Structure 1
């Protein structure tokens, strides 16, 4: 029960990583505000004690302000904010992407976390004076580290998230509020579901995640467990970092991979 009586906001909680993380926080005693544009967010909190669902747009400032206010009214403050909501923007290349696509992807994926920090940050600092600390987490991506893991707009937005948490960690110096990013690799979520469904349909499920050393895709709970660690007192000296959770994908440049126990050539 690492998070007993802690108040946690999770955006993008209607499915995938957000749902798994919201439910994991609740299982460890947190009072959870699960938020998403999708009505599926209400299913996320079904059967959970001390959890409420909010329908909102994570990239709209008035919605983020209202979300933070709801958490404070319902539970008395905010200790942890997981800015997880995001969109893929599709696979269009730089020369095929419209300004409208870039604008929407950056609005949700980068401005959204910035708004979370702007509006939840002061409330978390206020609580940290009483409790000793707080945490802000943002979902970035391995696509934000280098090219090849997402479309250009998506990748650029996630690179921005990594720098955002570094900047926020500096601006929150002395507050004892830590800010970190998580960089997932290939995880089966609503965003990637079409690719997973197609691979299964054509009998190529074994190829999902084949480029990382573990030779498999990840599941949302594997990201949720990292999020809980980074939000917990066990990570009290982790700040301004981008934690990669990708099965080892980003540990190497693309090569013809050696089979375990077999010669490389």
Structure 2
């Protein structure tokens, strides 16, 4: 197997499940030493699945002292930082604007947007000191336009996309690249109730049918995109938002004619 991250020091937040866990395992599989961070306690399970190359830490990604402690652990355990995947996030439910509690809206922004901001603020100088590297932020196709998430979630992810662009510009000359990955519907802990319900009523085939591939993604597919953005394979990719959504965001919603059928 290719070892694009041999001896690299990597931090992954939200690594207890879903995309974060898949990415942490993939980074380690390509030679990285990984700080596995999560607030749930499941970070220990991810670290155990990886083995000696991983160190687990309980972190609230939107709480600055926790982020500072996480960065300090990477420096202490691995001698510095080369890559950060700021992935931790929460959904905030599906209520409309008028039924959304302002406190919940603020909490979604704290975790989903302030979290990546804190990761950049604390880790980017360390990455620059090592001669450069990469930061990848988890946004969402919900951050591109309406229809893929709640108001709070969508607003937070739109902010993440812009944050990646601003950070890339403000890190000019540092050799630190900042990009965002934009998942479409992916089977993770956050979306598990949707998938469980679809299985229970034998309608799993309807999940993801609005995109041209007509299916949902698996966490490993998103992890592959994250590792690309974090690697030297993407050495000239900076300040970009990469949608990994089966083609969902390539069009406004329409009623599509299925492949191989004829029009009525």
3-state SS in 2 of match to 1:70: helix
Stretches of structure 2 lacking an aligned partner (at least 5 in a row): none
2:83 — aligned with what?
80
- Following the alignment from structure 1 to structure 2, what is the Cα–Cα distance between the partners of residues 38 and 44? 11
Provide the C-alpha distance between the structure 1 equivalents of 2:137 and 2:129, rounded to a whole number of angstroms.
20
Count of residues in Structure 1 that have an aligned counterpart in Structure 2: 261
Contact (CA 8 Å) 1:257, 1:264: kept in 2 or not? no
Specify the SS of the correspondent of 1:45: helix
State the SS of the aligned residue for 2:104: helix
2-structure distance, mates of 1:201, 1:225: 30
- The alignment's TM-score, normalised by the length of structure 1, stands at 0.97
The residue that corresponds to 1:97 in the other structure is 100
Offset of 1:261 from its aligned partner? 2.1
- SS of equivalent to 1:196: helix
* Residues 46-61 of structure 1: pairs in structure 2 closer than 5 A: 46=48, 47-61=50-64
User: What is the match of residue 40 of structure 1?
Assistant: 42
Does residue 128 of structure 2 align to residue 125 of structure 1? Answer: yes
Report the equivalent of 1:159. 158
Shift of 1:49: 2.9
State the secondary structure of the residue aligned to 2:130. Answer: helix
Distance 2:163 2:114 in 1: 10
Please state whether the residue corresponding to 1:256 is helix, strand or coil.
coil
2:211 matches 1:212: yes
**What is the CA distance between 1:45 and its match in structure 2?**
1.2
Q: Which residue of 2 aligns with 1:232?
A: 231
Deviations 1:189-224 (A, max 9, x none): 000000000010011101000001111100000000
What TM-score, normalized by structure 2, do the two folds share?
Answer: 0.98
Shift of 1:263: 2.7
Whether the aligned pair in 2 keeps the contact of 1:26 and 1:49 (CA below 8 Å) is: no
Residue 264 of structure 1: how far off its partner (Å): 3.9
Name which of structure 1's ranges 247-256 and 82-91 shifts more when overlaid on structure 2.
Answer: 247-256
Residue 258 of structure 1 and its aligned partner are, at CA, apart by 1.1
**Distance in structure 1 (CA, Å) of the matches to 2:258 and 2:64:** 49
- The CA distance in 2 between the partners of 1:85 and 1:200, in whole Å, is 26
**SS of residue paired to 1:123:** helix
Report if the CA contact (8 A) 1:56-1:64 is conserved: yes
4+ aligned runs moved over 6 Å, structure 1:
none
Structure 1: segments with no counterpart, 5+ residues = none
Residue 111 of structure 1 aligns with which residue? Answer: 114
Tell me the secondary structure at the aligned position of residue 95 of structure 1.
helix
**Counterpart-to-counterpart distance in 2, 1:49 and 1:155:** 37
Match of 1:185? 184
Partner of 1:140: 139
Deviates more, 1:38-47 or 1:220-229: 38-47
**2-structure distance, mates of 1:256, 1:158:** 26
1:242 equivalent in structure 2: 241
Question: How far did residue 262 of structure 1 move?
Answer: 2.0
**Structure 2 residue matching 1:111: 3-state secondary structure:** helix
SS of the residue corresponding to residue 80 of structure 2 reads coil
